[in-house]
Amino acid sequence: MRQTILAVLSLSTISALLTGCGGDLVLLNSKGPVAHGLSGLMMTAIYLMLLVVIPSIIMALWFGWKYRASNKDADYKPTWAHSTAIEIAVWGIPIIIIAILAYIAWWGSHQYDPYRPLDAESTKKPVDIQVIAEPYKWVFVYPEQQIATINELRFPEQTPVHFHITSDFTMNSFFMPQLAGQIYAMAGMQTHLHVLANETGVYRGFSSNYSGYGFSQMHFKAHSVSQADFDKWVADVKAGNGSQYAAVQKQTLDFAGLQAVRDGERSQHQIEGMLADAKTPEQKAAAEAAEKQGAYPHHPHPVTYYASVEPQLFKKVIAKYMSNYHGAEQAHADASHATAGE
């Protein structure tokens, strides 16, 4: 009776835990060639490892049943010490599986390299999008279209998209699981990511690694639309009609405006740190302005469109951390205050 109760409780607990495994499994619901290939590699690795896991579980249960104390017919070999067949199985099978995993990992790392253009998947000209990680939002600059957005992406379906990625504060991670793997965003550096959406849809994007008190708000929607809808959207943004898309419409995003967006959202702990660390008149003025503005409320930055963007804005953000040490020191201070919490 006691064993029956324990079995029922165990099954009930497992069933309750498995209810958390439902929902949209985005890693397995790929909408682009890169994500589809990566999910295929992941499932192949899982299937190969199950070749060891499943037999091990079966044998553990079978041995426990066969050699139970009440089974008087079980073989008893107290002098048994070695089996060549068992040694070959327990060493040979894992070695073969590891060799196969090593090969597909090597092949996949080249085949799905984020820096590898998707020329084989499409003959269309790629859309260039520059990504800037800001605290705590994503800024997207379209250099050819000369527009910019915050916390929203739009690009044509069946068209390669080339992301140029950097950070204007601490290290971050750019991730759209249905389209590609994650790629890091780092201050003073530029990383690349090539993606392609097979169909129209709205895909989730977010910061996948902790980068400060507000990183959980760093999520955005990536809209894959038809070429005609993309062209219309670009024209509407340039014309200042962002309200049609439930976005805040603004005119120009320049370097000063980007810094205002960046510095206008600080926690109380960061503000106190700025006041304590301020030494130069400029730092003191910035700290006083931040104190006057107050702490940033915990909610995502609204989707914002800019009808025009300053040329070379992306390069200026990178150069900010390369031309001298002041930018790097400020970023380090901001990151220290951000990760310390409020």
227-247 pLDDT tens trace: 999 999 999 999 999 999 999
Lowest mean pLDDT among 66-70, 220-224, 288-292, 323-327: 323-327
**By the 8 A CB rule, do 26 and 177 touch?**
yes
pTM beyond 0.75: the answer is yes
**Do residues 219 and 206 touch, judged by C-beta distance below 8 A?**
yes
pLDDT at 338 over 60: no
Average pLDDT, the chain: 86
Residue 157 CB contacts under 8 Å (≥ 6 apart), including other chains: 197, 198, 199, 200, 224, 225, 226, 227
CA–CA gap between residue 293 and residue 269 (Å, rounded): 14
At 281 the pLDDT is 86
pLDDT at 223 over 50: yes
Residue among 313, 328, 303, 287 at smallest CA distance from 170:
328
Query: Closest Cα partner for 317 from 327, 303, 329?
Result: 327
pLDDT at 21: 58
Going by pLDDT thresholds of 50, 70 and 90, the confidence category of residue 325 is very low
How large a percentage of the chain has pLDDT more than 90? Answer: 57
Are 261 and 306 in contact by the 8 Å Cβ rule? The answer is no
List, in order, residues 6 or more apart from 64 with CB less than 8 Å away: none
- CA 275 from chain centre, in angstroms, equals 33
Provide the pLDDT for residue 119. 79
The answer to whether 135 and 264 have CB atoms below 8 angstroms apart is no
- Classified by CATH at the fold level, domain 127-340 comes out as Immunoglobulin-like (2.60.40)
Residues of the chain with CATH 2.60.40.420: 127-340
What type of residue is 179?
L
Lowest-confidence range among 4-8, 242-246, 320-324? 4-8
Phi, then psi, of 190 in degrees rounded to 5: -130, 125
